[in-house]
Amino acid sequence: MDDIEKFDKFLSFYGKYYQTVSEISMPCPVHDKDCPSIKHKECISKSKEPLVSSDFMMYSFDDICRDTETIDICNLPSTCDGLYLDKKRKVLYFIEYKGVK
C-alpha cells in the first residue's frame, strides 16, 4: 500500500464530512459543536447562498477540526475549508473560500 492509499484510508474515517462544495461554501453554517460565545451570534453575511454551487464532493476540513476532541472548540486553528485527494494524479488539494463568488 503506497502513501496515497494510506492517506485515502485515513480520510475514509471522516466520511461524514465528505460533503458537496455547495454545503462547505455556505456562509454562516450552523454547527452542532460551536463555541458557546459565538453559537448564537447573528450571521452578518449578506448572502444566504453558497459561494460555489456544485455537487462536487470533498472533505470539510473545518468540520473535521471542529469535531476533534483535542482541539479547543473556542480556540480553533485557522484551517482550509476543504480537502480533496485526487488519487489518480496523487495530488492533495487544499481549498479556501474568501467570501467572494
Look at residues 68, 71, 82 and name the one whose alpha carbon lies nearest to residue 29. 82
Higher per-residue pLDDT: 59 or 51: 59
Q: How far apart are the first and last CA of the chain?
A: 39
What pLDDT shows up at residue 101?
57
- Left if phi > 0, otherwise alpha if psi is -120 to 50, otherwise beta: which for 24? alpha
For 1-26, the pLDDT digits (tens) are: 899 999 999 999 999 999 999 999 98
- Give the confidence band of 88 by pLDDT, cuts at 50, 70, 90: very high
Q: Contact at 8 Å (CB) between 45 and 94?
A: no
pTM, entire model:
0.82
Beta bridge partners of 82: 60, 95
Higher per-residue pLDDT: 88 or 99: 88
For 31-50, the pLDDT digits (tens) are: 667 787 776 777 777 778 88
User: What average pLDDT score do residues 62-76 get?
Assistant: 86
With 80 as the cut, is the pLDDT of residue 100 above it? no
